[in-house]
Chain A
């Protein structure tokens, strides 16, 4: 059914129909609406789950870890400081191979404290062993959560999945979202969780044992394989979803007008909408420009990205996070896979935009494309700084 839904409501609707049985969370802007909606659903009897309202994000993730280890589908959501606070537990969940789904309402990280959107928080967790998917709009956010459980619970995967949605930009925006109304059809797509090993008094296994140097590397090797091998599962989950529900937003990546493109803009998340509008405009005036959307950042879709970019002359990476002391994160990885495939003819320029909720306007993107024409190998260059702050007008206020 088509409804006008706030992003957070779309996400909670999607979580509801995926039927997690244990939900645990701690409030943090801009994730709050998601967990508020979910607790209301539980309170109203529209979702049969234990909602454990905890005293911290560390505990929220730990509750999911414990429940998931019992073979019960579990869910949590957080952002920013909350994600950093639970990060230790996310590594543990991944290492124990538990299929917890976590929504990240992407938000900037302190200091300075800032509640608005960027992707520094989830980027900080990119090496945890969790799958990371990024949604472009609320419809995709809705569809992605159902897919996330399908991916997480696949026998060859068994990993946590982080569904990353831009805070405020998506979580607090109303859009038309088409929801699935028959839980039976979702169950057909996503059968009940059935774990081979779980905490069970009839089969008393020990989980999270001490891995000495003789076995630790091998267990991490298995984990690395699981993350890499999840690529095909992400693809099939998207494909099956399309077959059953008619919605498709790309699998590992998605391309937009890239076929003959000389310039390709690479980005993740909600900014893709603005970029696509700009591309449409520029196409009208005859510019050969296209867009590559990275939907799965972990696992990183190396082959797919190379295939999409190899014929372009210029690549512009727009991202809302930075590896301080190095540069862009996504741009680094794009350059890395191109280099690995011996493609050195492409001028890759990476820019950091929109940190801490700074607006990214269509004009910014047009300006950036202009600038990139003469730039070479930019690596996480800040774009869109306020020149009046540079001149010191603000810092001099007060005594």
Chain B
């Protein structure tokens, strides 16, 4: 009897989504939506790829299930429109 792996322990595409890395985060961003110019840099720089939003409406948000709270989005926002706040645990 064999264990039920795809031969050679092959993993399915994108299966990592099962791992909710949001639990890593001590801080999370708040998108203040005051001075945002829609530059999209927060989307570019987020190492996890969890920032989403729209250039036109200038409304951005992040996926708390996966955000690791690195703070790069806040640090890099050229108009200081993102702020990191402590996660209540």
Contact = CB atoms under 8 A, between A and B. Distances in A.
A and B, direct touch (CB closer than 8 Å)? yes
B8 A95 contact: yes
Interface string A197-222: 10000001111110100010011011
Given A204-B13, A205-B13, A206-B13, A225 B2 contact: yes
B10 interface: yes
A196 interface: yes
B10 A206 contact: yes
A interface SS class = loop
B9 A215 contact: yes
B interface SS class = loop
B11 A222 contact: no
Q: How large is the interface on A (under 10, 10 to 19, 20 to 34, 35 or more residues)?
A: 20 to 34
B6 A197 contact: yes
Q: How large is the interface on B (under 10, 10 to 19, 20 to 34, 35 or more residues)?
A: 10 to 19
A208 B13 contact: no
Contacts of B11: 205-206, 209
Contacts of B1: 225
Contact of A218 (B5, B7, B10): B5
Q: Looking at B1, B10, B11, B13, which has the most chain A CB atoms within 10 Å of its CB?
A: B10
A205 B12 contact: yes
A204 B12 CA distance: 8
Given A222-B2, A225-B2, A211 B9 contact: yes
Contacts of A196: 7
Contacts of A206: 10-13
A207 B13 CA distance: 10
A158 B7 contact: yes
B14 to A, nearest CB: 9
B7 A97 contact: yes
Given A197-B8, A208-B8, 9 more contacts: A97-B8, A158-B7, A197-B7, A205-B11, A206-B13, A211-B9, A219-B3, A225-B1, A225-B2
